[in-house]
Amino acid sequence: MPSPISHTLHLERWTVTSGSNVQSRGAVVVGSGDHQWDGAAEGNGPVDALFRAVDAALEGVLAGHPRLIAYDVHAVAEGPGAEGLVTVRIAPPSSAEGPRASGKYTGSSSDTNIIAASIVAYIAAIDQLLAEEHWQGATDAAGNRRRAKAAAVASAPRRAEIDEDAAEHDTVAWFER
C-alpha cells in the first residue's frame, strides 16, 4: 500500500507546441526542494509530448520512465469554462528491480486547461511513487541540475562588453549603398 504523498515533486513550468501538421513538442522544469530537472521531448499530441518531457527530466531519478496504465479526463461541470478532472495511473519503470518494481500510483488534478491538469496529475502520480519508503532519497541521488547549471554559469567566460563609442553605425549610409 502506498504511503501518504509527500509532495516532493512540483511542476515549476512547462511549454508545449502542437498543431495539425507538426510533431508536438513539450518542455518541462520539475523541482523538488532545491533540486531542479528539465527535459524536452516530442510526442503524439501535447499531453504525450509533456509526459515524455517529464520522463526525460526525471530519467536520473527513476532510472527509466513510469509505465502509463490509465489516463482519464472527466468534465466536472457543463459549459466551455468547466474544469476537467484528469486522473493518471502509473506503474514503476520496467527497469526497476526489487521492491521498486511493484505498485500502482494515481495522481489527479482539475483545471480548465486539460493539458495543465494532465501534466500536474502525471507528476502527482510520480510523486506518490517517490513517496514510497523504497524510493526515498532518489531525488537526492539523482543530482541537481539547478546547482550544476549555476556552477557552469559562474565558471563560464564572461561575454565581451559593448564599447558604446566604437559601436556608432550610420544605418542610413548602409541602406544607400
Say if residues 9 and 123 touch (Cβ distance below 8 Å).
Answer: yes
User: Cα 54–132–38 angle (5° rounding)?
Assistant: 20
pLDDT of residue 16: 96
pLDDT of residue 1: 41
Over its C-alpha atoms, the chain yields an Rg (Å, rounded) of 22
pLDDT of residue 90: 95
pLDDT of residue 165: 57
Smallest Cα–Cα separation from 43: which of 142, 119, 128, 145? 119
Q: In sequence order, which ranges of 58-113 are alpha helices (DSSP H)?
A: 59-62
pLDDT of residue 139: 67
Residues of the chain with pLDDT under 70: 1-7, 134-135, 137-177
What residue ranges define each of the domains in the chain, with the CATH number in brackets? 10-144 (3.30.160.270)
pLDDT of residue 2: 43
pLDDT of residue 33: 83
pLDDT of residue 110: 96
pLDDT of residue 162: 54
Q: What is the DSSP letter of 126?
A: H
Say if residues 41 and 58 touch (Cβ distance below 8 Å).
Answer: no
Smallest Cα–Cα separation from 127: which of 5, 4, 1? 5
Cα gap 134→89, rounded to integer Å: 19
